[in-house]
Structure 1
Amino acid sequence: MSIEHMKNTSFDKVDFQQWKDLTEQSLKGKPYETLLTKTFEGIELQPLYIGETPTNNASHIQQMKGESGWTIAQQTIAKDGATFIQQLRHSLERGNEAIVYDGMLKIDWTATDLDELSSYFSDYPVIFLNIDKSDPVLEAFDRVPHEVRSSVNGIVDCHDWTAPVGYDNLRTIGVDTWNIHHQGADAVTELAFTLAEASQLVTQSTSFEAFSNQFFVRFAVDTHFFMEIAKLRAFRLLWKAFSTAFEQTEVPEIPVMAVTSVRSYSKLDPYVNLLRAGNETFAAILGGADIITTHPHTVLTEPDASSIRYARNIQLVLKEETHVDKVIDPAGGSYFIEQLTNELVEKAWALFLQLEQEEDINQFIDRRLAGICQERQGEVAKGKKALIGTNAYAELTDTNFHDWEGIEAFQRLAIPFENMRKQFSVQQPKTVILTFGLLKEFKPRADFVTSYLFAGGVKTTWSPAFQRVEEAIEWMQHEQPEYIVVCAQDDQLHAVMDELLERIPANCLVDVAGKVDEPSAQRWKEKGLNGFLLNGQDKIAKLQSIYSAWKGVDDK
């Protein structure tokens, strides 16, 4: 083919219907709709985005963000003031860019500690969170010389606290979504809640300008990567609409803080939390956060020097390796993210207007969160949402179940599995996967059962592969298991189960892996079968029933 012929050759344009027809062929009978994913925000994620190009919000977001990059704001963790100063100095020398203090640590401060702490205020942004008015750390602001107070900038989240004279660049009015996020809130609810809270706060201020000069927001960022990117971008567009509603011709810039969520964090395999932290941090960066805090992977049980360093280095590595700090809105122009951003803006604004009509906003939010939280927990319990190392690919390793007082986690998704693991770590039945047939026949079900029980902390062993019930009974009389799960192909299962249930020791609890026809299931249950282990089953409910049934047998 000549070069001229190649230049004049074009491909036939493929429309959406052709793509859909080809997709349904590859699905082998399943409808195209099975590829749609419905989110908690009420948004349907499409397998392919085609058609009219969504509004490109990049220029608007760039104007409101102002400049590229973000501030690395790693929390300093210590038990006393002197150690806090030492750790702060250490982190600032190694890449941290802010003074982050959380009042939940309840640190005792000496006058010397406060003097030294205040000496950093003019050089680094100050981020003080969850501060009570009685916290002595606030005295540090009184120790800063008047002539340098105007150079101090940052955020102090303390109800009814007024900064001393001279702190013109310190923000003290804000909305923090941490609590509602960890009670199950979706992105739409978080955005609408933020606007509703801002609406109440602005009415308490002398003017919109005075309010916006003091205002900040803080979002928890979860592992739903693209949704979290869109959430932060959507907020800036919503803030523009909010400002316009208050007749502002110029949209004031406000700092958008982001902190990695621990809603998906787990104590059961804490190193997976490192992956979650990296995912959430990168989403916050691409979403355009101005200030980012990455929680250590051991934050649930208490961070140590290593986990704190890993958390700080996540941001440092992303900044050095990706160069996204050179771009104001790195996600701008992406068809998928722009579409998500626009949908979040529309839904969040509609919910905000609804909240404005509610007599009791908190009561309305609580009802909404209760339903979402229950649905989230149900997805994890049934395996629809995978928490690696917790409800999927779990490992039976020693677990630290300690709760660190430095963080409030509320309704973490892993808590039911952690409680189950803790229960079985104290006492559990001697468990055997009883196999029949050839290895290649029962192995898929045996692997499934092993993974299923590991999620609850139940140790298992596999029996030899039996062909006859008599062999299995003889082996069991020697091993004396307290709980067995029978694994075999369907035809083999039906061939052995009736006889097995008639001859099995009375003090042994029996389950079957897999689904069978209703008549067989009913007949086996009448002969003493406890139940079935199934894919998509509520694991928490099933594991608890195993424990209760075993304890009932054990107590006889």
Structure 2
Amino acid sequence: MEDFKQLNPQEWKLKVQAELAGLDYNEVLVWDTAEGIQIKPVYTQEDLLQTVFPIQTTKDWKIIGQFLPDANQDTSYLYGLKIKDQQIDKLKSLPEYLDLFFDLEKPFEVLSKNNFASFKNLKYLGLDVLGHFAESGDWYRSEEEDLALAEKLIDEGNFAKSVEVNASLFQNAGANHVLQIALAISQAVEYLETLGEKVAPKLYFKVAVGGNYFFEIAKLRALRNLWELILAEYNSDAEVYILAETSLRNKSVLDVYNNVIRSGLEAAAAVQGKADVVYAFPYDSIGKSSDFSEELASKQQLLLQKESYFDKVMDPISGTYFIENLTELMSRNALDLFKKLEEEGGFLKGLFEGRIQKMIQKSADREQMAFDEGEMILIGVNKFRNPSDQPKPVEKPSLPIMTQIQPIIRKRLAEKIESDL
């Protein structure tokens, strides 16, 4: 190392400028993101906006898969399983070392009929009454009853985590990275203000990870930073807990095996972003997944663990100039947007007045335009399409006609191309 001269940032920029042969540095190499962040071609130590420290979580992460109605399902490599409402009667046959993540569709019915204290490994309950209201436009029963149910589950203490902030909705509906972070912490603060500080240790974030690798890493790290900052304001020492799942927004039934590559990269970004739990959707999840595709999806993470050795280093991203700079800028922009949301009345009021829906729609329209015009590329979908590919029609869920608010709708980028075919 002593034989190599250390270049300062100005020397790096002069070198880049010389390679441009007269072209303007800012016009050619600096570009603006959808979040209003400028990306440069070269990053140095001077771009570390503050002192950075490794994220102190376990080196390993929880690999979870979907519970399958197959007595021979291989769970030897898994930390946990996702469970649906209708699978509750099969829980007692599962090994107790598996952490179970319960996706609730009908919480009042399921919770009233089952004694969850008897399930020692059912630790994570996906109850998000605010998220359900945002996505469906209606409460399960009413605002008072729904929040009372959440408070009851917190007080009973049968779950390690019983309140979910389902921020995956915002990503899959088209919100940009900064908007996703701001909405996630705004929703979480709504729970804190409504249910009290006792909700803090029982709350976790579910986040969807898209295909912009470095941005997704920075997004998860920024979310963790901001939530730690907010917890400190509430004098809470609760942990920040993030469940990351791969996005559905950039998936398609066209050239469907490309979804394996996309979800593999997304899972890698989730791990490097220091998610505590990672779930990868199968490549054919847009239609009807199979036992094979579900197992393949969860075993994608085995490659990251056993062949890429992602579990051997505590935090390899820490100190990287570009990602640390991007994380800090995302954090600052998201904090500013969060403060604006709070000044206007908070998450729930923003839904009732339609401001949140408009922000997401504006971001989604911009992303959709980039995809439609070929600036954003999905191989096999809007670029290098297989002419012999004949996808099966995708059944779209019916939308409610009358709701209390305009619901936030998940939408995939490829839907129009698929329907045209």
TM tier, smaller: 0.7 to 0.9
1:289: how far off? Answer: 0.7
Match of residue 302 from structure 2? 316
Deviations 1:525-554 (A, max 9, x none): xxxxxxxxxxxxxxxxxxxxxxxxxxxxxx
Match of residue 128 from structure 1? 102
Please tell me whether residue 349 in structure 1 is matched to residue 335 in structure 2. Answer: yes
1:24: how far off? Answer: 3.7
1:383: how far off? Answer: 1.1
Q: List aligned pairs for 1:83-98, cutoff 5 A.
A: 84=69, 86=70, 90-93=73-76, 95-98=77-80
Match of residue 118 from structure 1? 92
Match of residue 350 from structure 2? 361
Closer, same or farther: CA 295–131 of 1 in aligned 2, 3 Å: same
Q: Take 2:116 and 2:231, find their aligned partners in 1: how far apart are those partners?
A: 36
Task: Give the secondary structure class of the aligned counterpart of 2:318.
Answer: coil
Q: Pick the aligned partner of 1:58 from 40, 53, 64.
A: 53
Deviations 1:486-510 (A, max 9, x none): xxxxxxxxxxxxxxxxxxxxxxxxx
Q: List aligned pairs for 1:187-336, cutoff 5 A.
A: 187-205=177-195, 207-208=196-197, 210-248=198-236, 251-336=237-322
Task: Give the secondary structure class of the aligned counterpart of 2:127.
Answer: strand
Q: Pick the aligned partner of 1:174 from 164, 169, 175.
A: 164
Deviations 1:23-68 (A, max 9, x none): 3443344321211232122111111012525134334x31xx3x22
1:225: how far off? Answer: 0.5
Match of residue 127 from structure 2? 157
Task: Give the secondary structure class of the aligned counterpart of 2:73.
Answer: helix
Q: Give the root-mean-square deviation of aligned CA atoms.
A: 2.8
Aligned residue identity for 2:320: S
* Unpaired stretches in structure 1, ≥5 consecutive residues: 1-5, 78-83, 423-556
Q: Take 2:4 and 2:178, find their aligned partners in 1: how far apart are those partners?
A: 43
Please tell me whether residue 26 in structure 1 is matched to residue 19 in structure 2. Answer: yes
Q: Take 1:57 and 1:18, find their aligned partners in 2: how far apart are those partners?
A: 25
Q: Pick the aligned partner of 1:99 from 51, 71, 81.
A: 81
Q: Pick the aligned partner of 1:377 from 353, 368, 371.
A: 368
Q: Take 1:286 and 1:140, find their aligned partners in 2: how far apart are those partners?
A: 40
Aligned residue identity for 2:188: A
Q: Take 1:203 and 1:180, find their aligned partners in 2: how far apart are those partners?
A: 21
Task: Calculate the TM-score normalised by the size of structure 2.
Answer: 0.83
Task: Give the secondary structure class of the aligned counterpart of 2:311.
Answer: helix
Q: List aligned pairs for 1:415-426, cutoff 5 A.
A: 415-420=415-420, 422=421
- Judge conservation of contact 2:393–2:419 (CA < 8 Å) in 1: no
1:325: how far off? Answer: 1.8
Task: Give the secondary structure class of the aligned counterpart of 2:200.
Answer: helix
Q: Take 1:259 and 1:406, find their aligned partners in 2: how far apart are those partners?
A: 21
* Unpaired stretches in structure 2, ≥5 consecutive residues: 130-145, 399-407
* Larger deviation, residues 116-125 vs 348-357: 116-125
- Judge conservation of contact 2:128–2:165 (CA < 8 Å) in 1: no
Match of residue 386 from structure 1? 377
Q: Percent identity?
A: 26
Between Structure 1 and Structure 2, how many residues are aligned?
385
- Judge conservation of contact 2:255–2:389 (CA < 8 Å) in 1: no
Task: Give the secondary structure class of the aligned counterpart of 1:367.
Answer: helix
Deviations 1:119-138 (A, max 9, x none): 538432121124212554x4
Task: Give the secondary structure class of the aligned counterpart of 1:92.
Answer: coil
Q: Take 2:117 and 2:192, find their aligned partners in 1: how far apart are those partners?
A: 29
- Judge conservation of contact 1:132–1:158 (CA < 8 Å) in 2: no
Q: Take 1:68 and 1:230, find their aligned partners in 2: how far apart are those partners?
A: 18
- Judge conservation of contact 1:157–1:172 (CA < 8 Å) in 2: yes
* Larger deviation, residues 17-26 vs 187-196: 17-26
Q: Take 1:198 and 1:121, find their aligned partners in 2: how far apart are those partners?
A: 32
Task: Calculate the TM-score normalised by the size of structure 1.
Answer: 0.64
Closer, same or farther: CA 158–198 of 1 in aligned 2, 3 Å: closer
Which structure has the larger Rg over C-alpha atoms?
Answer: 1
1:22: how far off? Answer: 3.8
Task: Give the secondary structure class of the aligned counterpart of 2:83.
Answer: strand
